[in-house]
Amino acid sequence: MSSGVGVDLQDMWIKFGDFVAVREANVNIKGGEFFSFLGPSGCGKTTILRAVSGFLEPSDGKVLIGGNDMAGKGPNERPTALIFQNLALFPLMKVWENITFSMEVRGASADERRKRADELLDMIALSGQGDKLPSELSGGQKQRVAIARALCAQPDVLLLDEPLSALDLKLRQHMRTELREIQKRVGITFIYITHDQGEALTMSDSVAVMKAGIIDQISDGKSIYDDPATAFVASFVGENNVFRGKISKIIDGQAIIDTNRTGLLRGRVSSMAQGKLSVGDDAMMFIRPEALDISEEKSASDTRIIANVRHSEFEGQSYNVFMEGSAGKEMKMALTNRGETRLYDADVELTLGYDANQAVIVPAGELASE
Amino acid sequence: MKTESPLIRFGLAIYLVLFFTYLLGPLVLMGITAFNSASFPQVTPWEVFSFEWFTTLFNDKRILSGIGNSLIVGFFTVILSVAMGLAGALMLTQIWPKLRATFYTVIIAPILIPGVVLGISTLVFWDRVNIMLGLSDDSFLRNGIFLTVLGQATFISSYCMLVFVARLQRYDLGLTEAALDLGATHVQAFRKIQLPFLMPAVGSAAVLAFLASFENYNTTTFTFQDYPTLTIELAQKVRYGIDPSVSALAFIIVVITVFFALLNEVKTRRAQLAIANGAPVGAVSGSFKMPGFFSGNPAAVVLTLFVAVVVGTIAYSQFYDPEPAKAVLLKEKRAAQQLRIKALQERVRLQRLEKKLKGPDIFGSGNSKVPQPPSKSASPFGNVFAPTNLEKAAGTNKDEKKPAPKKPGTSAFGNVFAPTNLEKAAPKE
Ligand SMILES: Nc1ncnc2c1ncn2[C@@H]1O[C@H](COP(=O)(O)OP(=O)(O)OP(=O)(O)O)[C@@H](O)[C@H]1O
Ligand SMILES: [Mg+2]
C-alpha cells in the first residue's frame, strides 16, 4: 500500500501579516496513508491544507510532494485535489459535468467524459443521477459527487477539508466507512482535516493534533488517545478527569503526583514526557471516565479516590456518574452497561479505583476549552 | 393584523391611487393623444380616432434616422460598457483591500459628474488627441458615433460595474479555486465557471446600458456631430412645436417596454413554479408547452392578451379609415360656427337697435353669452382651437375666422392658443 506519493512539510511557517497561523510544522506523511489533522476551529488546519494544495505559499519552510519541492507551483500544477469545506460544486453544471471537469479542461471529448462519469457514478452509488444539478442532490450525495470529482482528476494526494461536517450523525458515520473504503481501494494518500476526534481516530493511520498553529503530537489514533503528549491533547481528544499538582516522586515510568485537592496519586508518565519531568515540577494527571471503576477496597490509597455521587445518567451502552471528591473536585466515571441496575443515588459515597498505567501524567499546560 | 382601522386603509388606497396617477398618468395621457387626430397632443376636445400620427411618424425621415443612430450608438455602448464594467468589477475583487475604497470611488465618479461635463470633456479630449496624432479633421476620432459611444460609455460602464459588483458579491471564490485545483488554467476557470455565473448580470447590465444610452441627451448633445440620435432629433423637433407623432413614438416605446417587462415576469414566474414543483428548471424552460405555459402563471395570460391586443390594433389600423368621421366632425363644426356667427350678427343687430332706442347698454355684458351649439362633439372648449380646425378645413373658411377673435368674453383660452396654432400651421403650407 506504500505505492502512493508522500507529503512532507519541513519547518513550515505561515503568517498573515503579524499573525502566525502555522508555526514550524514538521510533518512526514507516507504515501498511501490516511493522515488526519485534528484541532479546534481556527487552529490553522485549512491553512495547512491550502499550503499543500498551492493556494498559499508558506512564509518559510518547504512543502514537498513525492519528494519534489512545490515552491512556485500553482494549484493547477500540483498532483493534489482538494475537497473543500463547503464542497464548492459548480452550481450551474450537471453532476456528470462537475465530476469530469478536470477532463474537460484537459480537452477530453464529451463521450469520453460521459463514460468516465458513469463509472465514477457507479462507484459512489449514484448511477443514473448524472443529469441532475448539484442543487437537486441531498447533502450526502453532494458529498459523494465532490469526492468523485476530486478522484476523477486522478490526484496522487487527496485533501479533504472537513467534508463531513455538514452531515447528520448517521450519514456521517456511514460516510466515514465509505471514505475509508475508497481510500483503501484507490490507494492514494488522503490528508483529512477535522475537528471531530471520533472521525480522526476511526479513519486515520496517523493523526496530527493541532493547537493554535502548533502541532502538539503526531501519532496513530491509539497513542493519541492513550498516551497523549500534552495536556491539550489529553483534554481535546476524548473526555478526561484532570488532576493538577506537583511531581513528588518518580519511579521508573511512573510518578506520584501531589494533587491540589485529592492528595497523592500515582500515574504513568506519558512517553513523550519521559525524562522531561522532575520532582517538584507542575504537572497534570489525566484519568479517562472509563478507566475509573468502583473499588472493592474502601480505604483511600495512591490509586483510590473517595467521592460522593452528585447525579447519574443512563446513556445506553454506559452509565455516567458525576461525582464530587474532596474540596469540591469534580469527576466523571463511565460504567459499562452490563444489564444490572447501577444508577447511583445522589450523596452515596463511593471509593473509586484505577490502574496506574491508565492515568497519564504530562507537564502542566493549557487545556482545550469547553 | 385586523387592528388596522378602515380609515388608515382608505387613506392608503387614496395614496396609492395618487401615487400611481402621478407615476403613470402622464404616460397614459400621452399614449391617448397619439390616437387623436387633433394636430396638437390633446385629449379633451377629442376629435377623431385615428392612426395618422403613426403614419406621420413612420414618414419622418429625421426621426427614423435618429432611431437608427440611437441603435448603432446603443449597440457599441453596450459592448464597451459591459466589457469595461466587468473588468472594473473583477479588478475590485482582486485588488489589495486597502486600495479598494479608493478604486471604487474613482470608478464611480463618472456617475456623479454631470453628463454635460462628460460630453464636453470627451469632445475636447479626442480633439486634442486628434491634433496630437496629426490626423485630418474628418478622421474617425471626430466621428459622431465614435465620440458619442465613448462619451456615453464613460459613465454607463460605471452603472454596469455596479451591477457586476452586486452579482460578484454572491460569487464564491472557492469555485474558481476548485476549478484551478482540478487543473484548469485561470482563463478556463474564468470562462467556464465565473463567467457563466455572471451571465444574468451581463444580461441586466446590457439592458441597463442600452436604455441609458438610448435616453441620453446631456452627453450626446456635445458629441453627435453628423449623427443625431433619437433624443437629439426629438429635442430639435420640439423646439419648432410639438405634434402627436411624438406621442405615437412614446406610445410605441411604452408598448415595447411593457412587452419585455411582461415577458420577464413570465420567465421569472415559470422558474419559481418549476422550483416549487421540484422540477429542474432546465427541463421546464426548454419548450413552449401550451397548457403548461399558462397554468398558474397569470403573467403569461396577461402577456398573451397584451400581444393579442397589439396585433389586433395593428391589423385594425390597416383598414381603419378616419376620413368619414372627420368629414362628419368638420360638418358639425362648420354648422356650429354658422350658428355662432348668426347669433353674433343677431346680437350686433340688437345692440344697434338698442343703441338707437336707448343710450348706454346696461345688460350688454349679460347678452354677450353665446348660445351653446347643439352639436355633441362641439364641447364647451370647441372654439378654443377653432382657428386650427378652420385652417384644416379649407381656404374658404378664412373670412369666417374674423368674427371669432372679436369676442373676447367667450373663452379665457381662446386668445392664448390661437397664435400658437396659427404659427404651427404656417410651415405646413
Ligand atoms: N487570508 C487570511 N488572512 C488572515 N488571517 C487568516 C487568513 N486565513 C486564515 N486566517 C487565520 O488563520 C487562522 C487559522 O485559520 P484556518 O482557516 O486554517 O482555521 P481552521 O483550523 O481550518 O478552522 P475551522 O475548523 O474553523 O475551519 C484563523 O485564526 C484565521 O483567522
Ligand atoms: Mg477550516
Residues A283-306: pLDDT tens digits?
999 999 999 988 888 777 888 888
Dihedral over alpha carbons B87, B89, B91, B95 (to 10 degrees): 180
- Residues of chain B where predicted confidence (pLDDT) is lower than 50: 281-290, 361, 364-429
In chain B, which residue's Cα lies nearest the Cα of A146? Answer: B178
- Within-domain flag for A189: yes
Whether residue A370 lies inside any domain: the answer is: no
Gap between the Cα atoms of A36 and A192, Å rounded: 4
From the CA of A43, give the closest atom in ligand 1.
Answer: 21
Whether residue B270 is contained in a domain is answered as no
Look up the domain containing B149 and give its range: 61-243
* Residues A309, A202 share a domain: no
The Å distance, Cα A37 to ligand 2 centre, comes to 11
Residue from A20, A43, A162 whose mutation best tests the ligand 1 pocket (most atoms within 8 A of CB):
A43
CA of B210 to the centre of ligand 1 (A): 44
Q: How do residues A155-192 score in pLDDT, each as one tens digit?
A: 999 999 988 877 788 888 888 888 888 888 888 999 99
Q: A161 alpha carbon to ligand 2 midpoint, in Å?
A: 6
A187 and A134 fall within a common domain? yes
Q: What is the pLDDT of residue B378?
A: 42
Burial of B168-194, coded b for 16+ CB within 10 Å and e otherwise, reads beebeebbbbbbbbbbbeeebbbebbb
Q: Looking at the partner chain, which of A81, A90, A92 has a beta carbon nearest the beta carbon of B181? A: A81
Residue in A82, A132, A191 to test binding to B, most B beta-carbons within 10 Å: A82
Ligand (nearest to CA of A84): 2
More confident residue, A339 or A108: A108
Domain count, chain B: 1
Q: How confident is the model at residue A261 (pLDDT cuts 50, 70, 90)?
A: confident
**pLDDT, tens only, A18-35:** 899 999 899 999 989 999
Domain membership flag for residue A2: no
Provide the pLDDT for residue B14.
94
Which helix H or strand E contains B297, and what residues bound it? none
Question: Which ligand does the CA of A20 lie closest to?
Answer: 1
* DSSP three-state, residue B36: strand
Interface membership of A16 toward B (CB under 8 Å): no
Q: Evaluate whether residue B76 is within a structural domain.
A: yes
Please, what's the b/e burial string for B92-124 (b: 16 or more CB within 10 A of its CB; e: otherwise)? beeeeeeeeeeebeebbebeeeebeebbbebbe
Considering the domain boundaries, does residue B234 fall inside one?
yes
A94: alpha, beta or left? (left if phi > 0; alpha if psi -120 to 50):
beta
Looking up residue A293, the CATH number of its domain turns out to be 2.40.50.140
Place of cell 460522593: A308
Largest distance between two CA atoms of chain A: 79
Nearest Cβ partner of B181 from A53, A133, A136? Answer: A53
Ligand 2 mean position, distance from CA A194 (Å): 8
CA distances from A313 to A198, A346, B97 (A): 22, 11, 53
Instruction: Say yes or no: A25 and A59 in one domain.
Output: yes
Contact (CB<8Å) B182/A149: yes
pLDDT exceeding 90 applies to what percent of chain A? Answer: 43
Cα-to-centroid distance, A80 and ligand 1 (Å): 21
Which amino acid is located at A297 in the chain?
E
* DSSP notation for B190-211: IIIIIHHHHHHHHHHHHHHHHH
CA A176/CA A196 separation, integer angstroms = 12
Residue B385 has phi, psi (to 5 degrees) of -100, 15
Residue B413 lies in a domain: no
Q: What is the pLDDT of residue B277?
A: 66
Are residues A196 and A335 both part of a single domain? no
Give residue B94's pLDDT.
Answer: 81
- Cβ proximity of A218 and A36 under 8 Å: no
Q: Nearest residue of B to residue A100 by CA position?
A: B182
Q: Does B175 contact A102 at a Cβ distance shorter than 8 Å? A: no
Q: Are residues A341 and A194 in the same domain?
A: no
- Tell me if A133 and B282 make a contact (CB, 8 A cut-off): yes
| Count of domains observed in chain A | 2
Task: Determine the Cα–Cα distance for residues B117 and B105; give it in Å rounded to an integer.
Answer: 18
Residue A278 contacts B, CB cutoff 8 Å: no
Phi, psi of A314 (to 5 degrees): -95, 130
Between vectors from CA B266 to CA B261 and to CA B267, what angle results, nearest 5°? 100
CATH number of the domain encompassing residue B185: 1.10.3720.10
Residues in contact with ligand 1 by the CB-under-6-Å rule are A 16, 19, 21, 39, 41-47, 195
What SS3 class is residue B16? helix
In the 3-class helix/strand/coil scheme, how is chain A assigned residue by residue?
CCCCCCEEEEEEEEEECCEEEEEEEEEEECCCCEEEEECCCCCCHHHHHHHHHCCCCCCEEEEEECCEECCCCCHHHCCEEEEECCECCCCCCCHHHHHCHHHHCCCCCHHHHHHHHHHHHHHCCCCCCCCCCHHHCCHHHHHHHHHHHHHHCCCCEEEEECCCCCCCHHHHHHHHHHHHHHHHHHCCEEEEEECCHHHHHHHCCEEEEEECCEEEEEECHHHHHHCCCCHHHHHHCCCCEEEEEEEEEEECCEEEEEECCCEEEEEEECHHHCCCCCCCCEEEEEECHHHCEECCCCCCECCEEEEEEEEEEECCCEEEEEEECHHHCEEEEEEECCCCCCCCCCCCEEEEECCHHHEEEEECCCCCCC
Structural domain contains residue A369: no
- Cβ distance B178 to A53 less than 8 Å, yes or no, reads no
- Considering the domain architecture, whether residues A300 and A198 belong to the same structural domain is answered as no
Q: How far is B105 from chain A (nearest CA, A)?
A: 26
What pLDDT, on the 0 to 100 scale, is given for residue B395? 41
Could you tell me if A256 and A156 lie in one domain?
Answer: no
Residue B281 confidence (pLDDT): 46
Q: Is residue A350 part of a domain?
A: yes
Distance, CA A213 to ligand 1 centroid (Å)?
Answer: 9
Tell me the CA–centroid distance for residue A49 and ligand 1, in Å.
11
Residue A92 has pLDDT above 60, yes or no: yes
Q: In this complex, do B179 and A90 lie within 8 Å of one another by their Cβ atoms?
A: yes
Rounded Cα distance, A351 and A299, in Å: 7
Mutation pick from A56, A92, A158, A162 vs chain B, by most beta carbons of B within 10 Å, is A92
The residue among A341 and B221 whose pLDDT is bigger is B221
Q: Same domain for A222 and A237?
A: no
Q: Which of A169, A204, A226 is where one domain is finished?
A: A226
Cell of B151: 462619451
- Ligand 1 atom, smallest distance to A39 CA: 21
End-to-end CA distance of chain B: 67
State residue B397's pLDDT score: 41
Cell digits of residue B53 = 400620427
Nearest to B180 among A74, A92, A150 (CB): A74
* Cα–Cα distance, B328 to B220 (Å, whole number): 46
Find, in chain A, the residue whose alpha carbon is nearest to that of B183. Answer: A76
Same domain, A219 and A278: no
Instruction: Mark the residues whose beta carbon lies below 5 A from ion ligand 2.
Output: A 46
Give the model confidence (pLDDT) of A70-85 as tens digits. Answer: 888 889 899 999 998 8
Q: Is residue B104 part of a domain?
A: yes
Q: Are residues A161 and A244 in the same domain?
A: no
Q: Are residues A332 and A277 in the same domain?
A: yes
Residue among A92, A101, A133 minimizing CB distance to B197:
A92
Which residues in chain B (182-241) have CB-CB distances under 8 A to chain A?
182-185, 188, 192-193, 196-197
Nearest CA to ligand 1 atom 30: A42
Position A281: which residue type? D
A217 touches chain B (CB under 8 A): no
A49 lies in the same domain as A167: yes
Q: Is residue B21 part of a domain?
A: no
Output the average pLDDT for chain A. Answer: 88
The 8-class DSSP code of residue B49 comes to: B
Range of the domain at A305: 231-363
Report the CATH number at residue A85: 3.40.50.300
